[in-house]
Structure 1
Amino acid sequence: MANRYLHNVQGLFDTIAPNYDRMNNIISLGTHRHWRKRTMQKIQLAPHAHALDLCCGTGDWTIAVARELQAPGEVIGFDFSAPMLKIAQQKVYQQHLQDRIWLRRGNAMRLPFKDNTFDLVTIGFGLRNLPDKDRALAEIFRVLKPGAQLVCLETSQPDQPLIKPVWQWYFTKLVPLFGRLFAHQYQEYSYLQETTRHFASYQQLVTMFKRAGFQKVHYTRFNFGAAAAHFGTKPGVTAND
């Protein structure tokens, strides 16, 4: 069942890849770049670190991490959609970051990396689309080095009484309409708004992080709770400490 679900979601992202960046700007009113910038400011990353950007899509966060590094530091952008990765590769060449970025295709719930490999794992707007989120978090925990950090940036749900109904109306009504008007993909964006509405709350995601073994779990919310960045640390001491 999980494999069928993953295959269907992969097909969806293959389909929306050509319009993905433009639609992100439209749906978030451009604020997704601000969320990512604010999140990056909270990450302490050594210049020679080895990072993994899961569900990297068209590579914007992969590139943002790579800009903080210098050789032999590197970041692997990992995604299951070949069309998304093709666009990401074009961006990497345009930014002249081939020496710091490697792109790989695969399943985020079965990572092809050894234990204790990475100094940082990021995942942006991807966890909610995975059929087994706990398994994905367990895999992330496995490949992180002791003392290293997971940073997850995701859409979330506002809980303020005045904001919540407006947010629900926007995602249930306007987001699918935007998909029809700007990308001719109503069904695809109807599905994406459903994953946003039904994804774990920011409090539930804290519990999921802790259940996977992460410590020092905390979060930052954006736009009255429309998005949240969660941070968790794998217990232990890094080799550099």
Structure 2
Amino acid sequence: MANQYLHNVRGLFDTIAPNYDRMNNIISLGTHRHWRTQTMRQIQLAPTAHALDLCCGTGDWTIAIAQRLQVPGEVIGLDFSLPMLTYAEQKVRAAHVQDQVWLRHGNAMRLPFKPNTFDLVTIGFGLRNLPDKQRALAEIYRVLKPGGQLVCLETSQPDQALIKPVWQWYFTKVVPWFGRLFAHQYQEYSYLQETTRHFASYQQLADMFKTAGFQAVHYQRFNFGAAAAHFGTKPTGGVS
């Protein structure tokens, strides 16, 4: 069941890859870049760190990390969609950070890396699309070095009484319509708004971090709660 789900989601992202960046800008009204910039400001990253960007898509966050590194520091961008990685490779070369970036095709729930490998793992707008989110968090915990940090930037749900109905209307009605109007992909963007609406709340995601073993778990919310960045650290005495 999980394998079929993953296959279907991979097919969806393969399909939307050519329009992915443009649609992100349209749907978020350009604010997704601000969310990532604000999140990056909270990350302490040594220039020679080894980082992993999961569900890297077309590579925006991978590139942002690479721009803070210098050899031998590196960031691996991993995604299960080959078309997404093709666009990521083009953007990496255009940003002139290919010396710091490696792009890999893979499954975020079965990471092809040894334990205690990375100083930082990021995952942006990808966790909600994985069939077993807790397993993915456990895998991230495994490959992080003790003292390493996980940072997850994800869509979330506002909980203010005046904002929540507007947010629900926007995602249930407007987002699929944008998908039809700008990308001719109504079904695909109907699915994406459903994953957003049904994903864990920001409090539940913080609890999931703690269940996986992360400490110093905290979060920052954006746009009245439409998105949230969660942070967690693997304890220095953590079991691999």
TM-score class, shorter-chain normalisation, is over 0.9
**Distance across 1 between alignment mates of 2:30 and 2:165:** 21
- Matched residue, 1:202: 202
- Matched residue, 1:95: 95
C-alpha spacing 1:237/1:68, structure 2 compared with 1 (3 Å):
farther
Q: Is 1:19 matched up with 2:29?
A: no
**Distance across 1 between alignment mates of 2:97 and 2:41:** 20
Q: What's the CA shift for 1:96?
A: 1.0
Pairwise mapping of residues 107-186 of structure 1 onto structure 2 (< 5 A)? Answer: 107-186=107-186
**Distance across 1 between alignment mates of 2:95 and 2:231:** 28
Q: Is 1:41 matched up with 2:41?
A: yes
Any idea what SS the aligned residue of 1:151 has? Answer: strand
- Matched residue, 2:230: 230
Identity of aligned residues (%): 84
Amino acid at match of 2:126: G
Q: Compute the TM-score of the two structures, normalised by the length of structure 2.
A: 0.98
**Distance across 2 between alignment mates of 1:4 and 1:19:** 24
Q: What's the CA shift for 1:237?
A: 6.7
Q: Compute the TM-score of the two structures, normalised by the length of structure 1.
A: 0.98
Amino acid at match of 1:31: T
Amino acid at match of 1:178: F
Alpha-carbon RMSD across the aligned residues, in angstroms, is: 0.8
Gaps of 5+ in 1: none
Q: Deviations over 1:32-54 (max 9, x none)?
A: 00000000000000000000000
- Matched residue, 1:214: 214
**Distance across 1 between alignment mates of 2:96 and 2:63:** 10
- Matched residue, 2:61: 61
Any idea what SS the aligned residue of 2:142 has? Answer: helix
**Distance across 1 between alignment mates of 2:149 and 2:200:** 20
**Distance across 1 between alignment mates of 2:237 and 2:206:** 22
Instruction: Report the count of equivalent residues.
Output: 238
Q: Is 1:77 matched up with 2:72?
A: no
**Distance across 2 between alignment mates of 1:95 and 1:32:** 19
**Distance across 2 between alignment mates of 1:27 and 1:112:** 33
**Distance across 2 between alignment mates of 1:95 and 1:128:** 28
**Distance across 1 between alignment mates of 2:166 and 2:95:** 38
Amino acid at match of 2:199: F
**Distance across 2 between alignment mates of 1:96 and 1:64:** 12
Runs of 4+ aligned structure 1 residues displaced above 6 Å come to: none
**Distance across 1 between alignment mates of 2:121 and 2:2:** 23
Q: What's the CA shift for 1:90?
A: 0.2
Decide which moves more: 91-100 or 128-137.
91-100
**Distance across 2 between alignment mates of 1:227 and 1:198:** 13
